[in-house]
Amino acid sequence: MKKSIVIVITIASFLLGGLGSYFIFSKSNEEDNKALKALPKQEKSEGLRGVYDIDKNINEKTIDNYLGRSDTVYRDVRMLMDSATWENKGGERELTGFVEGFEVVPYAYLTEFPQEYVDQKKNENVFGLYKGKTLFSLDKDGNYVANYKESMDILEYLFPKDKYIFIMCGAGGYANFTKQMLVSLGWDKEKIYNVGGYWNYEGNHGVSTVNKNGSKIKYDFWKVNYHNIDFDNLTKIK
Protein backbone atom coordinates (compact mmCIF):
# COMPACT_ATOMS: atom_id res chain seq x y z
CA MET A 1 0.00 0.00 0.00
CA LYS A 2 2.78 2.42 0.99
CA LYS A 3 4.62 1.56 -2.21
CA SER A 4 1.52 2.41 -4.28
CA ILE A 5 1.13 5.77 -2.51
CA VAL A 6 4.78 6.60 -3.17
CA ILE A 7 4.35 5.79 -6.86
CA VAL A 8 1.20 7.95 -7.12
CA ILE A 9 2.93 10.87 -5.38
CA THR A 10 5.96 10.52 -7.67
CA ILE A 11 3.80 10.54 -10.81
CA ALA A 12 1.78 13.51 -9.54
CA SER A 13 4.95 15.44 -8.77
CA PHE A 14 6.32 14.69 -12.23
CA LEU A 15 3.13 15.86 -13.93
CA LEU A 16 2.87 19.01 -11.82
CA GLY A 17 6.51 19.77 -12.44
CA GLY A 18 6.03 19.35 -16.18
CA LEU A 19 2.96 21.58 -16.20
CA GLY A 20 4.78 24.16 -14.13
CA SER A 21 7.69 24.19 -16.56
CA TYR A 22 5.28 24.47 -19.48
CA PHE A 23 3.51 27.52 -18.03
CA ILE A 24 6.80 29.15 -17.02
CA PHE A 25 8.23 28.56 -20.52
CA SER A 26 5.06 29.86 -22.21
CA LYS A 27 4.99 32.93 -19.97
CA SER A 28 8.67 33.52 -20.67
CA ASN A 29 8.05 33.39 -24.44
CA GLU A 30 5.13 35.80 -24.13
CA GLU A 31 7.24 38.20 -22.08
CA ASP A 32 10.08 37.94 -24.61
CA ASN A 33 7.73 38.79 -27.46
CA LYS A 34 6.25 41.71 -25.53
CA ALA A 35 9.75 43.00 -24.81
CA LEU A 36 10.69 43.04 -28.49
CA LYS A 37 10.81 46.51 -29.95
CA ALA A 38 8.18 46.99 -32.65
CA LEU A 39 9.58 46.81 -36.16
CA PRO A 40 9.41 49.99 -38.24
CA LYS A 41 6.70 49.94 -40.88
CA GLN A 42 7.87 49.04 -44.33
CA GLU A 43 9.05 51.92 -46.48
CA LYS A 44 10.51 51.56 -49.95
CA SER A 45 14.00 52.81 -50.70
CA GLU A 46 14.53 55.31 -53.48
CA GLY A 47 15.69 54.68 -57.04
CA LEU A 48 16.50 51.17 -58.27
CA ARG A 49 16.48 49.86 -54.71
CA GLY A 50 12.87 50.96 -54.51
CA VAL A 51 12.08 49.09 -57.73
CA TYR A 52 13.41 45.97 -55.99
CA ASP A 53 11.27 46.87 -52.94
CA ILE A 54 14.31 46.98 -50.64
CA ASP A 55 13.24 48.43 -47.31
CA LYS A 56 14.44 51.91 -46.42
CA ASN A 57 14.65 51.24 -42.67
CA ILE A 58 15.73 47.59 -42.40
CA ASN A 59 18.45 46.78 -44.91
CA GLU A 60 22.14 45.93 -45.30
CA LYS A 61 23.19 48.98 -43.27
CA THR A 62 20.85 48.42 -40.33
CA ILE A 63 20.11 44.68 -40.25
CA ASP A 64 22.51 44.11 -37.34
CA ASN A 65 20.04 45.99 -35.13
CA TYR A 66 17.31 43.46 -35.90
CA LEU A 67 19.08 40.10 -35.65
CA GLY A 68 18.13 37.34 -33.21
CA ARG A 69 14.45 38.22 -32.85
CA SER A 70 12.18 35.38 -31.70
CA ASP A 71 9.31 36.72 -33.84
CA THR A 72 11.33 36.71 -37.05
CA VAL A 73 12.89 34.20 -39.47
CA TYR A 74 15.88 35.13 -41.60
CA ARG A 75 16.24 33.80 -45.13
CA ASP A 76 19.00 34.25 -47.71
CA VAL A 77 17.63 33.16 -51.10
CA ARG A 78 20.88 32.81 -53.02
CA MET A 79 22.31 29.53 -54.30
CA LEU A 80 25.53 28.10 -52.89
CA MET A 81 26.94 28.13 -56.43
CA ASP A 82 24.85 30.14 -58.87
CA SER A 83 25.06 29.18 -62.54
CA ALA A 84 24.53 32.77 -63.68
CA THR A 85 27.48 34.98 -64.61
CA TRP A 86 26.96 37.53 -61.84
CA GLU A 87 30.64 38.45 -61.93
CA ASN A 88 29.88 40.30 -65.19
CA LYS A 89 27.74 42.69 -63.17
CA GLY A 90 30.07 43.09 -60.20
CA GLY A 91 28.49 40.29 -58.18
CA GLU A 92 29.50 36.74 -57.28
CA ARG A 93 28.35 33.29 -58.31
CA GLU A 94 29.54 31.74 -55.09
CA LEU A 95 27.93 32.32 -51.70
CA THR A 96 31.09 33.83 -50.24
CA GLY A 97 29.42 34.78 -46.98
CA PHE A 98 26.14 35.41 -45.22
CA VAL A 99 24.75 37.35 -42.29
CA GLU A 100 24.73 35.45 -39.01
CA GLY A 101 21.34 33.84 -38.36
CA PHE A 102 20.23 33.74 -41.99
CA GLU A 103 19.29 30.33 -43.41
CA VAL A 104 19.75 29.70 -47.12
CA VAL A 105 16.68 28.79 -49.20
CA PRO A 106 17.47 29.33 -52.91
CA TYR A 107 14.79 31.30 -54.73
CA ALA A 108 15.78 29.50 -57.94
CA TYR A 109 14.36 26.26 -56.49
CA LEU A 110 11.06 27.88 -55.52
CA THR A 111 9.89 29.00 -58.96
CA GLU A 112 11.12 29.91 -62.42
CA PHE A 113 12.43 33.33 -63.34
CA PRO A 114 10.05 35.63 -65.25
CA GLN A 115 11.09 35.78 -68.91
CA GLU A 116 11.38 39.57 -68.85
CA TYR A 117 13.92 39.25 -66.03
CA VAL A 118 15.93 36.68 -68.00
CA ASP A 119 15.95 39.02 -71.02
CA GLN A 120 16.91 42.00 -68.86
CA LYS A 121 19.86 40.13 -67.37
CA LYS A 122 21.05 39.05 -70.83
CA ASN A 123 21.16 42.74 -71.78
CA GLU A 124 23.31 43.26 -68.68
CA ASN A 125 25.66 40.45 -69.76
CA VAL A 126 24.36 38.04 -67.10
CA PHE A 127 23.73 34.61 -68.62
CA GLY A 128 23.02 31.12 -67.37
CA LEU A 129 20.21 31.66 -64.85
CA TYR A 130 19.05 28.39 -63.30
CA LYS A 131 16.50 26.45 -65.41
CA GLY A 132 16.12 23.25 -63.37
CA LYS A 133 13.32 21.82 -61.25
CA THR A 134 11.22 24.18 -59.12
CA LEU A 135 8.42 23.83 -56.57
CA PHE A 136 6.15 26.14 -58.59
CA SER A 137 5.81 27.27 -62.19
CA LEU A 138 4.43 30.50 -63.62
CA ASP A 139 1.44 30.17 -65.94
CA LYS A 140 0.73 32.56 -68.83
CA ASP A 141 -1.17 34.89 -66.48
CA GLY A 142 1.68 35.10 -63.97
CA ASN A 143 0.06 32.80 -61.41
CA TYR A 144 2.13 30.36 -59.36
CA VAL A 145 1.16 26.74 -60.00
CA ALA A 146 2.45 23.94 -57.77
CA ASN A 147 4.58 21.31 -59.52
CA TYR A 148 4.49 18.89 -56.58
CA LYS A 149 1.89 17.87 -54.02
CA GLU A 150 4.28 18.90 -51.24
CA SER A 151 5.12 22.32 -52.72
CA MET A 152 2.91 24.44 -50.47
CA ASP A 153 3.79 22.47 -47.33
CA ILE A 154 7.49 23.04 -48.02
CA LEU A 155 6.95 26.75 -48.66
CA GLU A 156 4.96 27.19 -45.44
CA TYR A 157 7.61 25.31 -43.47
CA LEU A 158 10.48 27.38 -44.85
CA PHE A 159 8.60 30.69 -44.65
CA PRO A 160 6.26 30.42 -41.63
CA LYS A 161 3.25 32.71 -41.88
CA ASP A 162 3.14 33.46 -38.15
CA LYS A 163 6.56 35.14 -38.19
CA TYR A 164 8.08 38.23 -39.70
CA ILE A 165 10.27 37.22 -42.64
CA PHE A 166 13.50 39.03 -43.49
CA ILE A 167 14.72 38.11 -46.97
CA MET A 168 18.18 38.83 -48.36
CA CYS A 169 20.07 37.80 -51.51
CA GLY A 170 23.04 39.20 -53.43
CA ALA A 171 21.71 42.59 -54.53
CA GLY A 172 17.97 42.48 -53.72
CA GLY A 173 16.44 41.02 -56.91
CA TYR A 174 15.96 37.39 -55.81
CA ALA A 175 14.62 38.65 -52.48
CA ASN A 176 12.10 40.84 -54.29
CA PHE A 177 10.87 37.91 -56.39
CA THR A 178 10.56 35.74 -53.29
CA LYS A 179 8.46 38.36 -51.53
CA GLN A 180 6.23 38.78 -54.59
CA MET A 181 5.70 35.03 -54.76
CA LEU A 182 4.82 34.66 -51.09
CA VAL A 183 2.37 37.57 -51.16
CA SER A 184 0.72 36.18 -54.30
CA LEU A 185 0.24 32.83 -52.52
CA GLY A 186 -1.40 34.34 -49.44
CA TRP A 187 1.35 35.59 -47.13
CA ASP A 188 0.89 38.90 -45.31
CA LYS A 189 2.83 41.56 -47.22
CA GLU A 190 3.33 43.63 -44.08
CA LYS A 191 5.30 40.82 -42.43
CA ILE A 192 7.81 40.30 -45.25
CA TYR A 193 10.83 42.60 -45.52
CA ASN A 194 13.28 42.69 -48.41
CA VAL A 195 16.41 43.64 -46.49
CA GLY A 196 18.61 43.95 -49.56
CA GLY A 197 21.77 42.21 -50.70
CA TYR A 198 24.76 40.70 -48.96
CA TRP A 199 27.07 42.24 -51.54
CA ASN A 200 26.26 45.61 -49.91
CA TYR A 201 26.29 44.41 -46.30
CA GLU A 202 28.02 46.83 -43.93
CA GLY A 203 27.52 45.18 -40.54
CA ASN A 204 29.62 43.19 -38.09
CA HIS A 205 27.85 39.83 -38.23
CA GLY A 206 29.01 38.54 -41.59
CA VAL A 207 30.20 34.93 -41.79
CA SER A 208 32.73 34.24 -44.55
CA THR A 209 32.77 30.91 -46.37
CA VAL A 210 35.98 31.72 -48.29
CA ASN A 211 38.90 29.46 -47.46
CA LYS A 212 42.10 30.60 -49.15
CA ASN A 213 45.18 28.40 -49.37
CA GLY A 214 47.74 30.27 -51.41
CA SER A 215 46.26 30.79 -54.87
CA LYS A 216 43.58 28.16 -54.29
CA ILE A 217 40.14 29.06 -52.97
CA LYS A 218 37.67 26.68 -51.40
CA TYR A 219 34.31 27.46 -49.85
CA ASP A 220 33.33 26.27 -46.39
CA PHE A 221 29.66 25.73 -47.17
CA TRP A 222 29.43 23.55 -44.07
CA LYS A 223 29.02 26.84 -42.20
CA VAL A 224 25.76 27.51 -44.02
CA ASN A 225 22.38 26.47 -42.62
CA TYR A 226 21.21 25.30 -46.03
CA HIS A 227 17.76 23.96 -46.93
CA ASN A 228 18.13 21.51 -49.78
CA ILE A 229 15.00 20.54 -51.70
CA ASP A 230 15.15 16.90 -52.79
CA PHE A 231 12.91 17.03 -55.85
CA ASP A 232 13.40 13.33 -56.61
CA ASN A 233 11.54 12.42 -53.42
CA LEU A 234 8.57 14.71 -54.10
CA THR A 235 5.27 13.72 -55.73
CA LYS A 236 4.98 15.28 -59.17
CA ILE A 237 1.59 16.73 -60.11
CA LYS A 238 0.68 15.48 -63.56
C-alpha distance from residue 105 to each of 76, 158, 202, 228 (Å): 6, 8, 22, 7
C-alpha distance from residue 89 to each of 135, 166, 168 (Å): 28, 25, 18
pLDDT for 196 equals: 96
Q: What predicted TM-score, i.e. pTM, was given to this entire model?
A: 0.84
Kindly tell me if the per-residue pLDDT of 40 is higher than 50. Answer: yes
Domain boundaries, the chain: 1-35, 47-233
CATH superfamily of 47-233: Rhodanese-like domain (3.40.250.10)
Residue 226: how many other CB atoms lie within 10 Å:
16
Tens of pLDDT, residue by residue over 97-125, are 999 999 999 999 999 998 999 999 999 99
Tens of pLDDT, residue by residue over 204-218, are 999 999 999 888 999
pLDDT for 29 equals: 46
Tens of pLDDT, residue by residue over 166-197, are 999 999 999 999 999 999 999 999 999 999 99
